[in-house]
Amino acid sequence: MLLEISGLTKKFGDTPVLKGVDLSIEEGSVVCLVGSSGSGKSTLLRCINLLETPTAGNIVFDGKLISAPDVPAYSVRRQIGMVFQHFNLFPHMTVVRNVMEGPLAVLKLSTIEARRIAMEQLQKVGLDDRADDKPTSLSGGQRQRVAIARALAMRPRLMLFDEPTSALDPELVGEVLNVMKALADEGMTMIAVTHEMSFAARVANKMVMLDKGRIVEEAAPHDFLSNPKTERAKAFLRHFEWLPSPI
Ligand code: ADP
Ligand code: MG
């Protein structure tokens, strides 16, 4: 297992938000995490890359207990990339300079080496021709692809996606999902919070549903989507229209 989470609990003040989450992720697999708003999905991802400190429980990544208090967050974040709903690119920097930032600032690579890696990743997301443009000249879908390239430039072993397409115009969703699918096909280990159910059906190895801070169902996509076992998952899935896949 690349990632093993056990008994993960997170409280904000007295309010429990994660209530004992156990989850294992195999290297090279894709997990899609679903659940209604406020169920704890973002908090779970944020605990994994130490943007939040767990209240209790263990997170073991690549055999190492990363939830221990003495583990520096930067050492974890250089191996676990995260892409958020909003891309947070630096507007005053060119596209390629945004992607170079991690390799320069964190990996301390030379400008030439950082640029080489950045161009490689931009090519992967199909935006090497926009390298010298400012992010403001790009569409939302293109910006999100730059954000993915930026995370990939750190050569992570695990990628976390937190609703990467939910702020995009519908016609821009497909290009981002395509990049994610290509990444999955290359063998990247990924946890994606997404409600793009047709994407999940095609790409995920496992779907996990969180409800009120607990995993209520964990199953292969086909089983989860067409034959959910819990009443909670059944009720949740009724809210989704079955549209043709955008990819
Ligand atoms: P989801 O991503 O599934 O919508 P979140 O993990 O963002 O859920 O939030 C779960 C719950 O934790 C929500 O009730 C939210 O208000 C609360 N929460 C999240 N972050 C904080 C915080 N920094 N301080 C206090 N409460 C928080
Ligand atoms: Mg969230």
pLDDT of residue 84: 94
For 245, which DSSP code? P
* Ligand 1 atom nearest to 13, measured from its CA: 25
Report residues of the chain scoring pLDDT below 70. 242-247
For residue 20, the Cα-to-chain-centroid distance in whole angstroms is 21
DSSP β-bridge partners for residue 34: 209
pLDDT of residue 247: 64
* Residue 102 CB less than 6 A away from ligand 1: no
Q: Closest residue (by CA) to atom 5 of ligand 1?
A: 40
CA dist., res. 227 & res. 232, Å (int): 12
Please state, as a whole number, how many other Cβ atoms lie within 10 Å of the Cβ of residue 157. Answer: 16
Of 11, 12, 53, 211, best ligand 1 pocket probe by most atoms within 8 Å of the beta carbon: 12
According to DSSP, residue 164 is labeled T
Measuring CA to CA, which residue among 76, 60, 57 is closest to residue 19? 57
At 245 the pLDDT is: 61
Cα–Cα nearest to 85, from 168, 186, 20, 3: 168
pLDDT at position 246 is 61
- Residue 69: predicted pLDDT: 86
Q: Do 120 and 144 meet the contact criterion of CB atoms below 8 Å apart?
A: no
pLDDT at 55: 96
Q: pTM for this one?
A: 0.95
Say how many C-beta atoms besides its own lie within 10 A of residue 178's C-beta. Answer: 17
The pLDDT of residue 242 is 62
Q: How many CB atoms lie within 10 A of CB 111?
A: 11
Q: From the CA of 213, give the closest atom in ligand 1.
A: 10
Other beta carbons within 10 angstroms of residue 69's beta carbon come to 5
Residue nearest to atom 27 of ligand 1 (CA): 12
Phi/psi for 58 (5° steps) reads -120, 145
Residue 6 pairs with which residues in a beta bridge? 58
What would the pLDDT profile of 183-242 be if each residue is shown by its tens digit?
A: 999 999 999 999 999 999 999 999 999 999 999 999 999 999 999 999 999 999 988 876
- What is the pLDDT at residue 88? 87
Question: Which atom of ligand 1 is nearest to 44's Cα?
Answer: 6
Please name the helix (run of DSSP H) or strand (run of DSSP E) that holds residue 211, with its range, or none.
strand 206-211
Q: What is the pLDDT of residue 244?
A: 57
